[in-house]
Structure 1
Amino acid sequence: MTAIGLRPATAADEAYCFRLHKAAMGAYITAIWGWDERVQSDFHTRAFARDRWQIITADGADVGILHVEHRPTEIYLARIEIHPDHQGRGIGSRLIRTLLHQAHQHGQNLTLDVLAINHRAQALYQHLGLHEVARHGENNIKIRMSTRPPQHSPIHRS
């Protein structure tokens, strides 16, 4: 079994994190907004939070990014990106299962947002027990998923 670890991101990881983001999310971003290297680089520079991001390692090699926010009523998975060369090996699943366990232990929900066109990630999250609770963003491009039970509105019939 692969040894998975987390280490704090450092300033030296900023360029790695951008390359990883481009490899893991570039196709989705291109499909929705188009990829403009300068715009994406500027966005990444503003978003890079070495004090909150962790680098995911597998057998000692850097393979991804994790950003988790522990909020009063939920654990919010703000970002999990695994390099495509390491996807499908259970790394993300194991990390998410750990977060699910933490949320359960604290009586909280695990919540995240996923791009609507990222069907592979949605399938993984559903397999792990999360479900859609809302859509948001321009043209509903993001899906909020959570362990929180979905709110069903009453059906009104005339």
Structure 2
Amino acid sequence: MTAIGLRPATSADSEYCFQLHKAAMGTYITAIWGWDEQIQRDFHANAFTPDRWQIITAEGTDAGMLHVEHRPTEIYLARIELHPDHQGRGIGGRLIRSFLHQARQQDRDLTLDVLVVNQRAQALYQRLGLHEVTRHGENNIKIRMSTKPPQTGLIHRP
């Protein structure tokens, strides 16, 4: 079994995280918006927060990045990206299972957003027990998924 670890991100990880994002998410971003290198670099410069991000390691090698927010009623998986060379090896599933366990222990939900075009990630999240709650963003390009099942059949009328 692959040894998985987490280490704090540092400012020196900025370019690694950008290149990782390009490798892991470039196809999906291109499908929705098209890839504009400068726009993506600007987005990364604004989003990169080393004190909140962690680098995922596999067998001691940098393999991805993680950003988790611990909120009052949920653990929000803001970002999990694995380099394509490390995808399909159970790393993401093992990490998410650990957050599912933590959420259950703390009586919270695990929640995340996934791009509608990223069907591979959606399938993983569904296998792990997350449910689609809603779609949002411009043209409903994001799917909110959670361990809290969606409420169906409830219509509130004033």
TM-score by length of 2: 0.97
Partners of 1:134 and 1:32 in 2: CA distance: 19
User: What letter matches 1:45 in structure 2?
Assistant: A
**Paired position in structure 1 for 2:57:** 57
Residue 153 of structure 2: SS of its match in structure 1? coil
Partner of 1:136: 136
1:111-130 matched pairs, under 5 angstroms? 111-130=111-130
Q: 1:154 to 1:74 in 2, by over 3 A?
A: closer
Q: For residues 13-35 of structure 1, give each alpha carbon's deviation from its aligned partner in whole angstroms, at most 9, with x where no partner exists.
A: 00000000000000000010010
Distance (whole Å) between structure 2 residues aligned to residue 84 and residue 153 of structure 1: 40
1:99-110 alignment runs, 5 A limit? 99-110=99-110
Supply the AA of the counterpart residue of 2:124.
Answer: L
Task: Name the SS of the counterpart of 1:65 in structure 2.
Answer: strand
**Identity rate of aligned residues, in percent?**
78
Q: Quick one: which amino acid aligns to residue 143 of structure 1?
A: I
Partner of 2:10: 10
Q: Deviation at 1:154?
A: 4.3
Q: How many residues are treated as equivalent by the alignment? A: 155
Kindly provide the amino acid, as one letter, of the partner of residue 5 in structure 1: G
Offset at residue 80 of structure 1 (A):
0.2
Gaps of 5+ in 1: none
Amino acid at match of 1:151: Q
Determine whether 1:23 maps to 2:23: yes
Taking the aligned partners of 1:68 and 1:154, their CA distance within structure 2 comes to: 31
Q: Report the AA paired with residue 81 of structure 2.
A: E
CA distance in structure 2 between the partners assigned to 1:78 and 1:153 by the alignment: 29
Deviation at 1:63, TM superposition (A): 0.3
Counterpart Cα distance in 2 of 1:113 and 1:149:
15
Stretches of 4+ moved more than 6 A in 1? none
Tell me the distance in 2 between the aligned counterparts of 1:42 and 1:3: 33
Structure 1 segment 63-78 matched on structure 2, within 5 A: 63-78=63-78
Give the drift of 1:149.
1.4
